[in-house]
């Protein structure tokens, strides 16, 4: 299953029909692909399901309608089990950025997190998962594919990268995560669920 966010709408590609709200289910072979799909994505649904037995084939076709941008970032934890969040344009987020040509996903993640937060010492413990979201840029639609890594650092003297719209850095404990989740993106909430499942 793939979950892609467009603003607050979740677009779910699945090979199983076991959802409750049937009005938002569409068989991939019946929607006429590009034009019909984009019309559906412009409607005010909280969630839309595209169903096909060949999930990977549907995912491959779905991606063809968008400009793909790949990014990499990290969920950084310290020895107190606090996670580092960034406040970018007034919304709590996690540090990430675009992967450069011939750069590995891991190297891009480390570089971007260091640049956005001012780390000098940072390590990767493993891969957490991938998130997807759609947005418009310069009259074309972008599918951003973000790869996320479990990272570690105990540095405290950090500096937000102001030129990237980051105005605050905050180490957050589990008890305070609710405050963050009230002002973050749906894909970040999903990613944190993935992260919690991975470390349990």
At the top level of CATH, the class of 68-199 is alpha beta
45, 19 Cβ separation under 8 angstroms = no
User: According to the model, what pLDDT value does residue 195 have?
Assistant: 86
CA atoms within 13 A on the CB side of 83: 22
User: According to the model, what pLDDT value does residue 130 have?
Assistant: 96
Residues of the chain falling short of pLDDT 50 = none
What does the block give as tokens for 117?
């937060």
Q: Which helix (H) or strand (E) holds 50?
A: strand 47-51
User: Measured between alpha carbons, how far is 135 from 114 in angstroms, rounded to an integer?
Assistant: 25
Instruction: Give SS3 for 156.
Output: coil
User: According to the model, what pLDDT value does residue 71 have?
Assistant: 98
User: According to the model, what pLDDT value does residue 137 have?
Assistant: 87
User: According to the model, what pLDDT value does residue 186 have?
Assistant: 92
Domain coordinates in residue numbering, the chain: 2-63, 68-199
Q: Which residues contact 74 (CB under 8 A, 6 or more apart)?
A: 94, 95, 96, 109, 110, 112, 113, 122, 124, 148, 149, 150, 151
149, 74 Cβ separation under 8 angstroms = yes
How do residues 118-176 score in pLDDT, each as one tens digit?
999 999 999 999 999 999 988 889 999 999 999 999 998 899 999 999 999 999 998 88
User: According to the model, what pLDDT value does residue 98 have?
Assistant: 97
| pTM of this prediction exceeds 0.75 | yes
Sign of CA dihedral 33, 35, 41, 45: negative
């Amino acid at each position: 299953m793939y979950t892609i966010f467009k603003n607050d709408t979740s677009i779910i590609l699945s090979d199983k029909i076991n959802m409750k709200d049937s009005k938002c289910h569409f068989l991939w072979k019946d929607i006429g692909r590009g034009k019909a799909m984009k019309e559906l994505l412009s409607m005010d649904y909280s969630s839309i399901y595209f169903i096909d037995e060949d999930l990977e084939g549907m995912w491959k076709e779905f991606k063809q309608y968008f400009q793909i941008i790949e990014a990499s970032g990290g969920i950084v934890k310290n020895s107190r089990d606090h996670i580092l969040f960034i406040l970018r344009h007034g919304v709590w987020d996690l540090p990430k950025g675009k992967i450069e040509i011939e750069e590995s996903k891991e190297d891009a993640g480390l570089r971007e997190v260091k640049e956005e937060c001012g780390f000098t010492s940072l390590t990767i413990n493993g891969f957490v998962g991938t998130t997807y979201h759609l947005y418009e840029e310069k009259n074309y639609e972008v599918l951003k594919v973000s790869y996320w890594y479990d990272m570690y650092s105990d540095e405290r003297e950090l500096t937000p990268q102001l030129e990237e719209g980051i105005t605050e850095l905050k180490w957050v404990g589990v008890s305070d995560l609710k405050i963050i989740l009230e002002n973050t993106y749906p894909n970040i909430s999903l990613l944190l669920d993935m992260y919690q499942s991975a470390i349990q």
